[in-house]
Homo-oligomer: A and B are copies of this chain.
């Protein structure tokens, strides 16, 4: 094959130099060349110099595939997320890639779209690729057969953002229950009684659902539980919940329901960016004003949330730290330095201007 069009080809040898080529040129054995290049074992100073020079001259690039084969380690990990173009996953993945790279691991990224079949495939592919470990955002709260592998095929595994029932592997997640609880308590403090939840979940079939779909992930159940816990025992009933896919359109439909039903919700907790935007869209459609007619808190601190008018109160999750924690746990497991159990990072309520006080308006 000719060299790439337009790229200079100063090459003499068409094929990449191998260790043996370096060894020949330095007039040593493969073993010695390997030692000099790898910086281990005993090598004479002058010999080492010759080898290094030869390697440079031949433009030698270690074939890590061969090394991986020999060593049984690829220095690669796999990340399996629902969708890398989603802001939460892309930030968490960024942290994972950074952390892994600093420890000498490169990162494969695979998407599942929260589809269990794709997740099963992704895990199989990564196992075939002989990655040294996996970080997975599981799409099902209960299915884990595909993680249960035998012998050395069972690579270290860390779950991200969601727990899987019955699977005892290290899991890095945030305190979603506490986060939701705090948000609802903020509403309650401001006198809200009719509170709605807009919940994004891939488990929602088509439109907007009132009942919790089968197979929602732990993040969803935790947040719902946190909201319910905050409202419990106050004689104000349960929150009104709408489940839908994570899209602005679906969220808008859900928000419309919450804002037109009787009694109408005066405060809404959105579980992510898309749901929050759905509320904004619904309010503009109904001529309602955020922070006045409708109070809003959303999970995840997006860049736009503090800039829009009024700025939006949010439950911020430490996304980078979450990815970092997962990667750190994985690398420790790969190195056999003890296995972490559950890592739960705290959320932070950032109160801006999207929650109205309905107390002083009474009577």
Contacts and interface: CB of A to CB of B under 8 A. Distances in A.
A53 interface: no
Contact of A93 (B84, B153, B273): B84
Interface stretch (A31-39, A144-152, A188-196, A354-362): A144-152
A84 B97 contact: yes
A1 B109 CA distance: 27
Contact of A281 (B5, B59, B307): B307
Given A303-B273, A308-B280, A4 B156 contact: yes
A292 interface: no
Contact of A150 (B11, B169, B280, B284): B11
Interface-centre pick from A10, A91, A149, A281 (highest chain B CB count, 10 A): A149
B284 A307 contact: yes
A64 interface: yes
B7 A154 contact: yes
A284 B353 CA distance: 14
Interface stretch (A66-74, A179-187, A344-352): A66-74
A277 interface: yes
Interface size class of A (residues with CB under 8 A): 35 or more
A83 interface: yes
Interface stretch (A127-135, A205-213, A220-228, A256-264): A127-135
A234 interface: no
Given A248-B303, A274-B303, A336-B1, A62 B11 contact: no
Interface string A251-282: 00000000000000000000001100100110
A8 B128 contact: no
A165 to B, nearest CB: 12
A159 to B, nearest CB: 12
A4 B154 contact: yes
Given A9-B154, A156-B4, A130 B339 contact: no
Contacts of A129: 64-65, 76, 106
Contact of A308 (B66, B91, B109, B304): B304
A97 B111 contact: yes
B108 A107 contact: yes
Given A85-B93, A94-B85, A6 B111 contact: no
A315 interface: no
Q: Which 7 A-B pairs have the closest CB atoms?
A: A6-B168, A11-B150, A90-B90, A85-B94, A11-B151, A85-B91, A304-B304
Interface of A: 1, 3-11, 13-16, 59, 61-66, 68-69, 74, 76, 83-87, 90-91, 93-94, 97-98, 101, 106-111, 124-130, 147-154, 156-157, 167-169, 248, 273-274, 277, 280-281, 284, 302-304, 307-309, 336, 339
